[in-house]
Amino acid sequence: MNINIAIADDHQLFLKSLSLLISSFNGFHIVAEAINGKELLDKIAGLSVPPDIVLLDVNMPVMDGAKATAALQKAYPDMKLAALSMKDNDATIITMLKAGCCAYLLKDIHPVELEKALLEIHKNGVYYNDASNVNYRRLLLQSEQKETITGREKEFLSFACSDLTYKAIAQKMNVSERTVDGYRETLFHKLNVQSRTGMVLEALRRQLVSL
């Protein structure tokens, strides 16, 4: 196994420490380090073969994580992109997912969990860090056996993929907050996820919503 990784983070001590950590994982190699999105794009363009996985900080100068993600997604559609941040709010997570990330990793992630996440991203193209009890392989195998998603549930999903609060979504859909809670819980069950982040990732993966 040979998995090439590129990392962009404007905190150089964290960048170097993360590079050393990932290099210690069996089969992983760091092929590019950058302190902002533009430098990352330039370094990847100079490689003979693009990296398999790119880890991007959300907040960086010159070019932030979302803009860099969108640019990489367009230039290298097969590349797997993962956000890396201290922030865990819905708006930031959804922004990065919509830009093209297949995973959202928090910087305080345990090294063992990080290695697992990178392996999952490399093998399956997605990582649900919010649902540690989900069997990822089983989830993918069951994806062909989709439960029917109703029109109103799809409408809710499209709003859930924005930075709107659940209260604002209820107002947009002209329903009560309790009804919106019902849509959310039903979709958590149908999509086999446990959070809004997981719901958005799975909805995008199944192409239930278009951005």
Each residue's pLDDT tens digit, 116-152? 999 989 988 888 765 433 343 343 344 444 457 888 8
Quote the CA–CA distance of 27 and 81 in Å, as a whole number. Answer: 18
**For the chain, how many structural domains are there in total?**
2
Q: Report the alpha-carbon angle 85-97-88, nearest 5.
A: 35
Residue 79's pLDDT is what? 93
Tell me, what CATH number does 188's domain have?
A: 1.10.10.10
Same domain, 163 and 61: no
Each residue's pLDDT tens digit, 161-183? 888 899 999 999 999 999 899 89
The two tokens of residue 206 are 């199944």
DSSP class per residue in the chain: --EEEEEE-S-HHHHHHHHHHHHTSTTEEEEEEESSHHHHHHHHHTSSS--SEEEEESS-SSS-HHHHHHHHHHH-TT-EEEEEES---HHHHHHHHHHT-SEEEETT--HHHHHHHHHHHHHHS---TT-TT--HHHHHHGGGSPPPPPHHHHHHHHHHTTT--HHHHHHHHTS-HHHHHHHHHHHHHHHT-SSHHHHHHHHHHTT-S--
Residue 211's pLDDT is what? 65
Domain-embedded: residue 114? yes
Each residue's pLDDT tens digit, 11-47? 999 999 999 999 999 999 999 999 999 999 999 999 9
Same domain, 19 and 88: yes
Cα 30 to chain centroid distance, Å, stands at 20
Same domain, 103 and 156: no
Q: Which residue has the higher pLDDT, 199 or 147?
A: 199
Residue 139's pLDDT is what? 38
Give 100's pLDDT tier (boundaries 50, 70, 90).
confident
Residue 27's pLDDT is what? 93
Same domain, 97 and 39: yes
Same domain, 121 and 151: no
Under DSSP, is residue 165 helix (H, G, I), strand (E, B) or coil? coil
Is the entire prediction scored with pTM above 0.85?
A: no
Same domain, 27 and 95: yes
Residue reference for tokens 């093998």: 123
50 in Cβ contact with 79 (< 8 Å)? yes
- What mean pLDDT do residues 88-105 have? 80
The two tokens of residue 106 are 């928090």
Same domain, 23 and 95: yes
Domain-embedded: residue 172? yes
Same domain, 99 and 158: no
Please name which of 91, 90, 38, 68 lies closest in space to residue 82, comparing C-alpha atoms: 68
Same domain, 160 and 84: no
Domain-embedded: residue 36? yes
Tell me, what CATH number does 70's domain have?
A: 3.40.50.2300
Q: Which of 97, 127, 157 is the last residue of a domain?
A: 127
Query: Which residue range forms the structural domain that includes residue 120?
Result: 3-127
Q: Which of 81, 105, 127 is the last residue of a domain?
A: 127
Domain-embedded: residue 53? yes
Residue 8 has pLDDT above 80, yes or no: yes
Q: Which of 67, 92, 127 is the last residue of a domain?
A: 127
Same domain, 120 and 23: yes
Domain-embedded: residue 7? yes
* Residues making up the chain, counted from first to last: 211
Domain-embedded: residue 135? no
Residue 147's pLDDT is what? 59
Under DSSP, is residue 10 helix (H, G, I), strand (E, B) or coil? coil
